[in-house]
């Protein structure tokens, strides 16, 4: 099959294109197009490099001149993986001194930047390093080893470090903190990785996953280090109305040191889970249903009255369940003291009484990491979490929660 030749005459050019299209079978049309485009790309690169060495020599091939600075020394062949597929036996000119360097590609480059980007995107979509090659082979017509994929994705580490060091604006009015457990498979068994997460809603209604950190536990020291990092990067808490947390004692103690003057809201979802541990299965549904009426109250006074009624009914049968709510009742009801316009009250209160928003975001993380059979190190976990959180932040960027702008 003849290659396309770009003639100056438009009529002849179109005739050659038509002949080429007519010669392609229906079944292999796009395969032929891709193969010939790849051949044209290779020819173009070789011509570009010939032009480069001619300008470097300051003379044409076989031309004698007194200004000669070097001598041609034939060619060497190399390959390059491109988004059109692999280019093989590319003729790269060289000089006798070895000083000539082409600008067509980098000296030790083996893949086009678009190929590396494709590898990163497939990896970030949750495909394991061993399966990336199989996923891309039908498109790129080449294979990559697991170590190759691992080396390519290491380019994300710089972006992860930049994400963790970026300055934060002190414009968050609601801060959600929670520790999320991820099950990560290793070559021997599944292990748990604890991720400390901060999510915020700004005074402009923008929601954002602010930061995360992989920690050994939810101890006071781990949480304090995480919160100190947020504070030092700019989140001073001047506009914070509420910090929404679970019942972790280590987090409570850390908040006393970093954001001591900000009110805290205990997560109702976590609290209901804890209460359920003290109930019989036969009574669980009705006891929890009545307990949920507490946070549905319109005022804190009404919520306290509903709690007392619930306490009187279940105190004798389930004293531990009652005590579970009673000991944290003030923090459980702090969200009811935030002044909110009536038309937004129900919606906003629903959002700020739990840390569910973090749980929902990490469902995507769990879904993406589930197919990955092995994380070789902590950096690979960081890459996955960073990519997914960044994608969610970009998705939310132009979709502010307008009801939260009433506090401006």
- What confidence score (pLDDT) does residue 3 get? 41
Give the rounded percent of residues in the chain with a pLDDT score beyond 90.
40
In this prediction, residues 166-180 reach a mean pLDDT of 93
C-alpha separations of 197 from 47, 143, 357 in Å: 53, 37, 11
Output the pLDDT for position 294. Answer: 95
Those residues whose C-beta lies under 8 Å from the C-beta of residue 124, and which sit 6 or more positions away, are 156, 368, 383, 384, 387, 388
How distant is the alpha carbon of residue 25 from its chain centre? 43
Higher local confidence (pLDDT), 72 or 203? 203
Listed in sequence order, the DSSP H helices in 125-196 are 129-140, 146-153, 156-165
Q: Which residue blocks in 319-372 are alpha helix, DSSP H?
A: 319-326, 329-332, 342-352, 356-369
| pLDDT the model gives residue 33 | 67
Confidence of residue 67 (pLDDT cuts 50, 70, 90): low
Q: What phi and psi values does residue 376 have, to the nearest 5 degrees? A: -75, -30
Q: Cα(349)–Cα(352) distance, rounded to whole angstroms?
A: 5
DSSP letters spanning 201-231: EETTS-EEEEEEEEES-S-HHHHHHHHHHHH
What one-character DSSP code corresponds to residue 315?
T
Q: Where are the domains of the chain?
A: 10-153, 168-407
- Per-residue pLDDT for 149 more than 90? no
The pLDDT mean for the chain works out to 82
Higher local confidence (pLDDT), 262 or 365: 262
Lowest-pLDDT choice from 227-231, 328-332, 398-402: 398-402
Calculate mean pLDDT across residues 77-102: 81
* Residue 401 exposed, middle or buried by CB count within 10 Å (0-12, 13-18, 19+): middle
Q: Do the strands 172-185 and 85-95 form a parallel or antiparallel pair, or are they unpaired?
A: unpaired
Q: Could you give the C-alpha distances from 336 to 142, 158, 174, 304, 331, in angstroms and in order?
A: 60, 43, 14, 11, 10
Position 296 scores a pLDDT of 94
d(CA 348, CA 335): 9
Whether residue 66 is predicted with pLDDT greater than 80 in this model: the reply is no
d(CA 280, CA 290): 15
The neighbouring-strand residues paired with 244 are 176, 265
Number of C-beta neighbours around residue 112 at 10 A: 17
Q: What is the mean pLDDT of residues 69-97?
A: 80
Cβ atoms 242, 335 nearer than 8 A: yes
Q: Using an 8 Å Cβ cutoff, are 287 and 318 in contact?
A: yes
Name residue 81's beta-bridge partners.
Answer: 86, 111
Question: Which of 76-85, 126-135, 364-373, 376-385 has the least mean pLDDT?
Answer: 364-373
Helix (H) or strand (E) holding 408: none
> Do 303 and 319 form a contact (C-beta atoms < 8 A)?
no
In this prediction, residue 144 has a pLDDT band, given cuts at 50, 70 and 90, of: confident
- Cα 282-359-290 angle, rounded to 5 deg: 30
pTM: 0.72
**CA-to-CA separations, 120 to 81, 123, 124, 210, 384, in angstroms, rounded:** 15, 5, 6, 23, 10
Please give the Cα distance from 218 to 232 (Å, whole number). Answer: 20
């Amino acid at each position: 099959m003849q290659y396309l030749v770009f003639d100056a005459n438009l009529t002849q050019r179109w005739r050659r294109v038509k002949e080429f299209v007519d010669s392609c079978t229906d079944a292999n049309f796009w395969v032929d197009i891709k193969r010939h485009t790849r051949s044209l790309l290779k020819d173009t690169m070789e011509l570009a490099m010939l032009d480069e060495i001619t300008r470097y020599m300051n003379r044409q091939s076989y031309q004698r001149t007194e200004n000669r600075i070097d001598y041609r020394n034939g060619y060497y062949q190399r390959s390059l993986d491109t988004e059109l597929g692999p280019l093989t036996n590319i003729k790269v000119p060289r000089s006798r001194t070895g000083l000539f360097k082409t600008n067509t590609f980098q000296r030790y480059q083996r893949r086009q930047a678009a190929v590396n980007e494709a590898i990163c995107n497939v990896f970030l979509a949750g495909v394991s390093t061993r399966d990336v090659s199989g996923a891309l082979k039908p498109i790129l017509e080449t294979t990559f080893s697991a170590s190759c994929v691992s080396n390519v994705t290491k380019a994300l580490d710089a972006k992860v470090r930049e994400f963790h060091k970026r300055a934060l604006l002190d414009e968050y009015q609601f801060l959600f903190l929670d520790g999320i457990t991820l099950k990560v498979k290793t070559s021997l068994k599944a292990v748990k990785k604890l991720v400390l997460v901060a999510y915020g809603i700004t005074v402009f209604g923008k929601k954002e996953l602010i930061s995360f950190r992989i920690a050994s536990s939810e101890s006071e020291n781990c949480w304090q280090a995480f919160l100190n990092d947020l504070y030092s990067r700019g989140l001073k808490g001047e506009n914070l109305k509420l910090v929404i947390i679970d019942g972790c004692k280590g987090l409570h103690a850390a908040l006393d040191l970093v954001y001591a003057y900000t009110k805290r809201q205990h997560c109702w979802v976590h609290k209901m889970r804890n209460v359920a541990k003290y109930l019989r299965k036969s009574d669980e549904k009705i006891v929890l249903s009545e307990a949920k009426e507490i946070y549905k109250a319109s005022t804190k006074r009404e919520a306290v009255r509903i709690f007392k009624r619930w306490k009187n009914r279940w105190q004798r049968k389930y004293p531990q369940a009652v005590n579970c709510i009673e000991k944290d009742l003030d923090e459980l009801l702090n969200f009811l003291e935030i002044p909110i316009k009536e038309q937004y009250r129900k919606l906003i209160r629903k959002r700020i009484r739990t840390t569910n928003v973090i749980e929902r975001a990490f469902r995507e993380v769990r879904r993406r990491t589930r197919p990955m059979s092995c994380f070789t190190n902590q950096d690979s976990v960081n890459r996955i979490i960073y990519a997914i959180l960044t994608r969610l932040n970009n998705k939310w960027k132009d979709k502010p929660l307008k009801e939260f702008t009433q506090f401006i």
